[in-house]
Structure 1
Amino acid sequence: MSGLLEVSGISVTFDGFRAINNLSFSIGAAELRAVIGPNGAGKTTFMDIVTGKTRPDGGRVLWGERSIDLLKLDEAQIAREGIGRKFQRPTVFEDQTVAENLMMALKAHRSPWRVLFWKPAGADHARVEELAVQVGLGEALARKSGELSHGQKQWLEIGMLLAQEPRLLLVDEPAAGMTLAEREQTTSLLVDLAKTHAVVVVEHDMDFVRRLNCKVTVLHEGSVLAEGSLDHVTANQQVIEVYLGR
């Protein structure tokens, strides 16, 4: 197995509707990938399968150097294996500071037994500061999360995800609702993270995808329609019909 994540031949049907249809996908350990496609293409269901929220009817999902079968694990076990997901709407604790949010994420990363007796040590405070700087919130550690802009909340949530030390990050529409400056900073953050992590960005915004300058996977009706650079996939006649014919 060459990739960090290898999905092969997965299918899933909901009430007779085939949401995922013989889908195969792989990503390396330090790679940035954009996944695009019209509504109903299967982007969310694909992420649900990888994170254990939805069970496919068939196919394989293998993870890591030991080719662990993710379909045998539950959501919590998959998260502990190093797969983190960031949903479209940021879910941060608004009444807590940036530092407290990050500290809670560090704590949650521990086993239930260790959480019981956990007290933050110097190394934990240092890690919280490091995470805040990494996501562009180094100056905002003492601020209440509810006071942050929409973009800053998104970065905080990415920081909380990083606190769990994932190897793969699944990020859903990070650019939605951001200012131009925030979008640029988000691009830089994701590109930077992909130097040491696998990062899958599900996005509708073509301009944002272009800035990411990475390989693109186009989904349509639950299958991979095209894969390659953005210029390559947007020149594909089928992709043009699917995107522009709606």
Structure 2
Amino acid sequence: MSTLLEVSGVSVTFDGFRAINNLSFRIGPAEMRAIIGPNGAGKTTFMDIVTGKTKPDQGRIIWGEKSISLRGMSEARIAREGVGRKFQKPTVFEDQTVHENLLMALRNKRGPFAVLFYKPTAKDLARVEALAEEIGLHDALWRKSGELSHGQKQWLEIGMLLAQEPRLLLVDEPAAGMTPAEREHTTNILVEAAKTRAVVVVEHDMEFVRRLNCKVTVLHEGAVLAEGSLDHVTTNQNVIDVYLGR
């Protein structure tokens, strides 16, 4: 299997605390992966490193078919390379409609003049319709985003990320605060997205992880403790001791 992202031998220390410890991780171009582990295991720091928010002390972060290094690249440049990230709390433009939010997020020219004189093309409008369909908000296209439920705002934000056509989507605890029906719909959105890109989901909710039906990476003290199917890792004694037994 070809590799989209390869992290090897990465370490990060904050004030003497080693948050990431010789971590290695790889994911293919159309793959779903769940990352689990106790608080302080390095899950958020891992995402910070891949997106350029945190610079590693050592190690390699290799991206794409041309094997370019993401180390030292700015966050904006890494985003342009195709790495999209969704934080736990949804950030949408609440005074704008769902349609406007999705339109603003489309991957178009970003210069000041381009933005000033931007007129959506028929292709842009069709893309917005398709995205709204994909995230289940087609009936809410003309509603203000501030009126949406928590779950719907999460879907809109995923849609806004998908509008930028990332090759890798990093999603932080998408199931938090959702109703069971919303969780199920979120699963469907992410599983569908992983057919055409890499999707990494950091999650504590084991039931949600089970529904994703994917390979699981368990982090502990900044390193990979176990990797494999959910059944495989949840029967691993080390994983039970440090995480599941709590």
Tell me the TM-score normalized by structure 1: 0.97
Bigger Cα displacement from structure 2, 228-237 vs 109-118: 109-118
CA displacement at 1:125 relative to structure 2: 1.1
Could you say which residue in structure 2 is the equivalent of 1:207?
207
Counterpart Cα distance in 1 of 2:163 and 2:191: 18
Could you say which residue in structure 2 is the equivalent of 1:190?
190
SS in 2 for 1:226: strand
SS in 2 for 1:71: coil
Counterpart Cα distance in 2 of 1:127 and 1:31: 23
Using the aligned pairs only, state the percent identity.
79
CA offsets, 1:177-225, max 9 Å, x none? 0111011111111111111010000000001001111000000000000
8 Å Cα contact 2:51-2:83 kept in structure 1: yes
* Matching residue's letter, 1:96: Q
Are 2:110 and 1:111 equivalent residues in the alignment?
yes
* Matching residue's letter, 2:25: F
Counterpart Cα distance in 2 of 1:34 and 1:121: 37
SS in 1 for 2:139: coil
In structure 2, list runs of 5 or more residues that go unmatched.
none
SS in 2 for 1:240: helix
CA displacement at 1:120 relative to structure 2: 1.3
CA displacement at 1:122 relative to structure 2: 1.5
Across the two proteins, how many residue pairs are aligned to each other?
245
CA displacement at 1:121 relative to structure 2: 1.5
Counterpart Cα distance in 2 of 1:244 and 1:82: 34
Question: How much is the aligned-residue C-alpha RMSD, in angstroms?
Answer: 1.2
CA displacement at 1:245 relative to structure 2: 4.4
Could you say which residue in structure 2 is the equivalent of 1:33?
33
8 Å Cα contact 2:2-2:29 kept in structure 1: no
Alignment of structure 1 residues 116-135 onto 2, 5 Å: 116-135=116-135
Bigger Cα displacement from structure 2, 121-130 vs 206-215: 121-130
SS in 2 for 1:139: helix
Could you say which residue in structure 2 is the equivalent of 1:181?
181
SS in 1 for 2:93: coil
Alignment of structure 1 residues 90-169 onto 2, 5 Å: 90-106=90-106, 109-112=108-111, 114-169=114-169
In structure 1, list runs of 5 or more residues that go unmatched.
none
